[in-house]
Amino acid sequence: MEGFLSTYGSAIVQMALAGVLALSLYLPLMAGQLSLASPGFYAVGGYVAALLSTRVFTGFPNGSYPILLIALEMVVAGGVSALFALIIGIPSLRLRGVYLALATIAFVEVLRVFALNQPWLGGAVGIYNIPQPFFSATRVEYLLLALPLLLVSTLFVARLERSRIGRAFVALREDELAASAMGIRPTYYKVLAFTIGAVLAGMTGALNAHILNTWNPRQGTFDLAILILAYVLVGGSRTFLGPVIGGAFLVALPEIILREVADAPGLHPAIATFLRDGRLILFGVLIAVSVFFFPYGLVTPNLFKRRRKTNVPRLEAAKAAPKVSRG
């Protein structure tokens, strides 16, 4: 177990963070908005944490930076990201489909070039020597922060999905015009979904700035946006579990699964070499293949519904529903 953690601990941390990033894209998508702005908020969050921990909360010897301060940075990063989301979201969320995706990508790029040119953000080098709360070289301990972040975000989105606000999001996704005929304010709920997503991305960035020990303009890019979109679509975009599973799976695929397979005993050396050197080829092919075989993603809402139906006959389930929720 200890060996496993020291080998794969940091990969597992990144799997958890990928899950949260995927949720940050899933939220606007839940309200029918294809936004690719997550890397932008992720970058903003990272810079907030990097600035706070290297300029403001100084004086802690390396390895003893208080975890509570990291949590505080995450909260501040979430807040700043939310502010950015409001400024960007209100004008751009009247765009539809690809146009919104492009406008949000434009935001990510402008932000990246801005960071590249600001001396106070470290320019191309970025901000380095971000203080560490742990001594270990493997940084497995970051699981103590990354897993709770993933858990809390997942629970939050799961609960939201079943609440009044979540239903308003889904109504907008299914049919914006019909939703507005039901008295749902489209702009308000779109901006809300977008902003919650931004908060999650900002908090992830803040945590990852500590994990990576450095933060620079390469952290929030178009490539990351597309990768996050792949997390969501490969995992499944119709239930909160999809993005979480998709993010974890796509990070694990090249880093853990294909490596493990390549190390399997008895494998022909040529195949093992290919698995090691060509793992990104396989990664690309598997993405394409998974989309074909799982067009609704690996996790679909029906997975749960079918089980529910086998437990309670449908007719009774419908009639019993109001009583069940009282308990």
Partner 1 sequence: MRLSNQSLQQYRRLWWFASRGLAAAALVLLITAILTAPSGLQNLFNGLAVGSVYAIFALGYTLIFSILRIINFTHGAIFTLGAYFTYFLTGASVGFNGLLANQRLPFGLPFPIAMIGGGLLAGLCGILIERVAFRPLRNKGADPLLTLVSSLGVAVAIVNVIQLLVGAEIYSYPRNPFGEMPAALNLGTFGGLSQRPVVIRTIQVIIFAVSMATVVLLTYFVNGTKIGKALRAVAEDATTSSLLGINTNFLISLTFFISGLIGGIAGTLVGLSVNVSGPYFGINFGLKGLAVIVLGGLGDIPGAVVGGLVIGVAEAFVPSEHVAYKEAIAFAVLFLVLLLRPQGLLGRAAVQKV
Partner 2 sequence: MSDEVVLEVRNLTCRFGGLYAVDNVSFQVRRGEIFGLIGPNGAGKTTVFNLITGMTPPMHGEVFYKGVNITSKRPHEIAMLGIARTFQNIRLFGALTALENVMIARHIHTRSGMIEGVFGLPPAPQEERAIRQRAMELLELVGLADSAEMQARNFSYGDQRRLEIARALALEPELLLLDEPAAGMNQNEKSALSAFIRRVREQFNLTIVLIEHYVPLVMGLCDRIAVLNFGQLIALGAPEKVQNDPAVIEAYLGD
Report in angstroms how near the CB of residue 5 gets to partner 2 at its nearest: 32
- Asked if 177 interacts with partner 1 (CB under 8 A), we say yes
Report which DSSP code applies to 61. Answer: P
Among residues 29, 2, 81, 20, the alpha carbon closest in space to that of 211 is found at: 20
Report which DSSP code applies to 127. Answer: B
Report in angstroms how near the CB of residue 97 gets to partner 2 at its nearest: 18
Report in angstroms how near the CB of residue 103 gets to partner 1 at its nearest: 5
The binder of partner 1 chosen from 113, 144, 267, 303 (CB under 8 A): 113
Token representation of residue 87:
């400024």
Own/partner long-range contacts of 157-165 (Cβ < 8 Å, ≥24 apart):
157/23, 157/26, 157/27, 157/240, 158/240, 158/241, 160/196, 161/30, 161/239, 161/240, 165/189, 165/192
State how far the alpha carbon of 121 is from the alpha carbons of 60, 105, 125, in Å.
Answer: 21, 21, 9
Report in angstroms how near the CB of residue 114 gets to partner 1 at its nearest: 7
183 binds, among partner 2, partner 1, none (CB under 5 to 8 A by kind): partner 2
Report in angstroms how near the CB of residue 86 gets to partner 1 at its nearest: 15
- Asked if 286 interacts with partner 1 (CB under 8 A), we say yes
Helix (H, G, I), strand (E, B), or coil: what is residue 215?
Answer: strand
The binder of partner 1 chosen from 4, 135, 222, 304 (CB under 8 A): 222
291 binds, among partner 1, partner 2, none (CB under 5 to 8 A by kind): partner 1
> Please, are residues 205 and 41 in contact by the beta-carbon 8 Å criterion?
yes
Residues of this chain that interact with partner 2 (CB under 8 A) are 156, 159-160, 163-168, 170-171, 174-175, 177-186, 192, 196, 238, 305, 309, 314-315, 317-319, 321-322, 325-326
First to last CA, the chain: 40
- Kindly list the residues in this chain that would bind partner 1 in the complex (CB under 8 A): 34, 91-92, 94-96, 98-99, 102-103, 105-107, 109-110, 112-114, 116-117, 177, 222, 226, 229-230, 233-234, 277-278, 280-289, 291-292, 295
